[in-house]
Structure 1
Amino acid sequence: MFDLATKKHNSLNFLDLFAGAGGLSEGFIRAGFMPIAHVEADTGAAFTLQTREAMHILKAHDELETYTSYISGKISRNHLYSSAFKFGPSSIINATIGRQNLDNIFSRIDALVGNQKIDLIIGGPPCQAYSLVGRARSQLKMVGDKRNYLFIYYAEFLKRYRPQIFIFENVVGLLTARETDGTRYLDMMISLFREIGYSIEFRVLSADEYGVPQKRRRIILVGKAGKHDGFFPEPDKVPVDFLVKDAIGDLPPLNAGQGAPYNTKIRKAPSHWLVESGLLSGSGSITWHDARPHNTRDLEIFTEVVKRWSEKRERLSYNDLPEGLKTHKNRNSFLDRFKVVAADLPASHTVVAHIAKDGNYYIHPDISQNRSLTPREAARIQTFPDDYFFESASGKPSRTSAFKQIGNAVPVILSEKIANTLIRSW
């Protein structure tokens, strides 16, 4: 991502696999690690990575105003890239990791690595095949899904580049996901990683215990070359002295259908948590504060949901809605399909990629705004910096693409805390 010829001799580098929109990577960059390359299959997410790469390059060369012009909608993406990559080629690899592409991906990474040694590999394969929700919705419980076996290709990168440490992130459903013979995929992974020379330790970390305003539990599996123990980089837990409203309460009020993907000025003073988080942009602007439109029925439901929470501190069951607002035939399951993001709790419920389909599970707590969250509000809960711009494959702003990438991401602050702990013990 950066000009490796100018990297500091004492800075550690990394390769990011299944990189998504870069939440995990951004945390490691903030901690001082230097990215060599990111590999990502989704074209929209790959462009997001490339745009973020352009920002870092332009900032390093004192040309950040070009990036500011881009996220203000004043120049094109091509203009941004031509300005940034005059300093060197982009290192984002938009490719699907699989047997047919490995040689090509290795060749491209090798060209970027040069005579360097890769210190660290990070990343986690797509989680749908291991997730509890994914298995619940699948007739075959995801057994036989090819995504179950992407860890085999992850191991190929370990064998080729032999990093000292690797970090593999995934959903807690990995603890119970099994093959047809009952074997856990997690045990298969650990066995394979040990076979190629790595000691393995893992923990389940909950993001809300490490300064993230969201209940999000993830397995973090760490491998270290050779025989070791006690090396898991578990960060210190953070005292909870913030609420969800501290993460989103300063953002300009919007009604459904209002807002824009490009820079919007914030006029309200940020919370202490926001100032300390490092998420605020230097310009005092935000991107992607763009509210989706909703039909009249959903807006009436949103009002009922927010009123129930604010007046009684109760979640509203679908069956509690007035009959005229009920359209779903299923009255026995998914009864919490409409849910407010409570402003007065220290952590939101988990933001997942389903937010790209509708906002019913992520209703804004301010009844006067009566809408679901914007991508920026979801990104704040995922602790992405305010100037982080989420791209689409087409080049045209896509709220759906932005939501999907945000929902699939690792919270940046959780990643940064893991990276800081790791770098201190390297």
Structure 2
Amino acid sequence: MRVIKDVQTMFKLVSLFSGCGGMDLGFHQYGYNIVFANDIDNDAVKTYRKNLGDIVQKDIKEIHEDEIPDCDVLTAGFPCQPFSSAGNRKGVADERGTLFHECIRIIKKKKPQAVVFENVRGILSIKNDDGNKLIHSIERMMDDVGYYVEYKLVKASDYGVPQNRYRVLIVGLRKDLNKRFVFPKPIKSDKLTLRHTLNNLKPDIPNSEHWKLSPQSQEIVPYIKEGGSWKDIPYDKLPERMKKIRDNIKKYKSPNFYRRYSWDEICGTITAAATPENCGILHPTEDRRYTVREIARIQSFPDDFVFEAGSIAGMYKIIGNAVPPRLAYAIAGQISEILEGKVNVEEEFAEQLAIL
């Protein structure tokens, strides 16, 4: 894993809800010194330790502020399920929604120069019980503890990630610094297609196994052409539930099940569930899911980052939940340059990101 800068001269990072380390890897690659990381998931923790080092496996509600070192930057990918448009959207009514307050508790005590939150796009639309938008509540709470906040729905492929993955990034800078965060400009690249991303995969590379399809999927997937979807499957071969949807497709808002991206397309969002029905997890020309290593590449993890979990489904889950390291790298660089008072940072990012 390439480190661009000397970690002895860079900022200290505290990472909460660290997952398997996608966000942390991007910051590490830019040269940040990770002084504390935390997650509760067994598979995520096992992989993090394998690749990045120490991590505290503990419920954040049980971590006292004094257990956490001082830091310059704090990141937190607090649980996104309650805010997901694909989930139950309970939002703050869900107990997991209150975990954001644990982040505020720690930020208030540690007072880092910068804070980065990552979440799904649904966080922009979900409302609290009082009818106010959750994102505005987050802004208000961050303002109350002394931070100017900027947030944006970003597309990972704008920052060198070979995946059209949309996520909300919320970045706060401490008010006494008299600085505001500006998101880096998109970086153009013609090397993000599946053809480019999955080339030169050696058979002995770690994590080359794939999660076998269900019997139902094994039967219908061969009918789907490269670049196609469930619409390629003959009607008489469809499961009964899908026949009902096909019969009244407008009523069901024209879903695009079993999407199989072509070699010359950028892959869609890799999800934690890795279900071929609901995400583009199918290989362009082979009748199978992507291997663990293939989806790791689509998420921009380097080949020397090895995933370990209790099951292969667990590996797909932690990769799907991760922040793409290249996206994290771009944000880490922008924060660093802003805190250091440098200008014209976008050109430097484009050059540095190209060599990752």
TM-score normalised according to structure 2 size: 0.84
Say if 2:36 and 2:55, in contact at 8 Å, map to a contact too: yes
Q: Which of 392, 399, 403 pairs up with 2:316? A: 403
1:213 is paired with a residue whose SS is coil
Alignment partners' CA distance in 1, 2:280 and 2:7? 44
Alignment partners' CA distance in 2, 1:300 and 1:45? 33
Q: Give CA-to-partner distance per residue, 1:320-364, whole Å, 9 cap, x none.
A: 53313424365254842211132211x211111121698974110
Alignment partners' CA distance in 2, 1:177 and 1:419? 27
Q: Which residue of 2 aligns with 1:102?
A: 63
The offset of 1:231, in angstroms, is 2.6
Structure with max Cα Rg: 1
Change in Cα spacing, 1:356 to 1:324, as seen in structure 2 (3 Å) is: closer
**1:317 alignment partner AA:** K
Say if 1:356 and 1:400, in contact at 8 Å, map to a contact too: no
Q: Which of 256, 263, 268 pairs up with 1:349? A: 268
Change in Cα spacing, 1:146 to 1:408, as seen in structure 2 (3 Å) is: same
Q: Give CA-to-partner distance per residue, 1:350-390, whole Å, 9 cap, x none.
A: 11112169897411002xx3211111111111001112122
Q: Which residue of 2 aligns with 1:24?
A: 23
Change in Cα spacing, 1:324 to 1:236, as seen in structure 2 (3 Å) is: closer
% same residue: 27
Say if 2:299 and 2:319, in contact at 8 Å, map to a contact too: yes
Are 1:387 and 2:304 matched, yes or no? yes
Alignment partners' CA distance in 1, 2:277 and 2:237? 20
Say if 1:199 and 1:226, in contact at 8 Å, map to a contact too: yes
Q: Which of 244, 248, 251 pairs up with 2:201? A: 251
1:203 is paired with a residue whose SS is strand
Say if 2:259 and 2:276, in contact at 8 Å, map to a contact too: no
The offset of 1:49, in angstroms, is 1.0
Are 1:215 and 2:128 matched, yes or no? no
Say if 1:384 and 1:411, in contact at 8 Å, map to a contact too: yes
Alignment partners' CA distance in 2, 1:120 and 1:339? 38
Alignment partners' CA distance in 2, 1:17 and 1:142? 20
The offset of 1:406, in angstroms, is 0.6
**2:290 alignment partner AA:** L
Say if 1:247 and 1:380, in contact at 8 Å, map to a contact too: yes
User: Gaps (5+ residues) in structure 2?
Assistant: 1-5, 340-356
Alignment partners' CA distance in 2, 1:52 and 1:107? 26
Are 1:187 and 2:174 matched, yes or no? no
Are 1:236 and 2:169 matched, yes or no? no
Alignment partners' CA distance in 2, 1:129 and 1:170? 10
Say if 1:15 and 1:118, in contact at 8 Å, map to a contact too: yes
Change in Cα spacing, 1:237 to 1:142, as seen in structure 2 (3 Å) is: closer
Say if 2:270 and 2:320, in contact at 8 Å, map to a contact too: yes
Change in Cα spacing, 1:202 to 1:248, as seen in structure 2 (3 Å) is: same
Equivalences for 1:33-52 in 2 at 5 Å?
33-52=32-51
- Aligned alpha-carbon RMSD (Å): 2.4
Alignment partners' CA distance in 2, 1:338 and 1:420? 37
Say if 1:199 and 1:227, in contact at 8 Å, map to a contact too: no
Alignment partners' CA distance in 1, 2:114 and 2:214? 50
Q: 322-331 vs 149-158, which deviates more?
A: 322-331
Change in Cα spacing, 1:360 to 1:225, as seen in structure 2 (3 Å) is: closer
**1:247 alignment partner AA:** T
Are 1:321 and 2:234 matched, yes or no? yes
**2:270 alignment partner AA:** V
User: Gaps (5+ residues) in structure 1?
Assistant: 1-5, 55-90, 253-263, 266-285
Say if 2:274 and 2:316, in contact at 8 Å, map to a contact too: yes
TM-score normalised according to structure 1 size: 0.71
Say if 1:201 and 1:221, in contact at 8 Å, map to a contact too: yes
